[in-house]
Amino acid sequence: MISDYQRLKQILINCLRNSTKFTQEGYIMLKVYRSRLAMKYGEDVIAVQEAVNFEIYDTGIGISEENIQTLFKLFGKVMQKNKSINKEGIGLGLFITKSLAVSLGGTI
């Protein structure tokens, strides 16, 4: 498996920092595991590629379904009921994070 270590590190740090902003109590968990991705042409598997998956879980305040798409847009900031949460930032972090993930051939 080949990837850009520095960019991958930046993606993980950005995601974990975002979790810490919105998790005042409970936990944040990073899960890492390997998988195989099958590349298909029609019904035929033409190649199998190894992949590393990263998942972050937290017990933070959550986000409504309609606001999820806003998170990854340029200057996308979700307004919260509690105005003291996430006062800083201009909404670039997750946009940059998604752009980096896509440039490395991944998804977020």
Q: What domain range is 63 assigned to?
A: 5-103
100 pLDDT band, cuts 50/70/90, is: very high
Q: What share of the chain is helix, strand, coil (3-state, %, to 5)?
A: 35, 25, 40
pLDDT at 80: 56
Asked if 56 and 19 touch (Cβ cutoff 8 Å), the reply is yes
pLDDT tens-digit map of 41-95? 999 989 998 889 999 999 998 887 877 777 778 776 665 555 555 556 556 788 8
Provide the number of structural domains found in the chain.
1
pLDDT at 68: 78
pLDDT at 102: 92
Structural domain includes residue 108: no
CATH of the domain at 12: 3.30.565.10
pLDDT at 69: 75
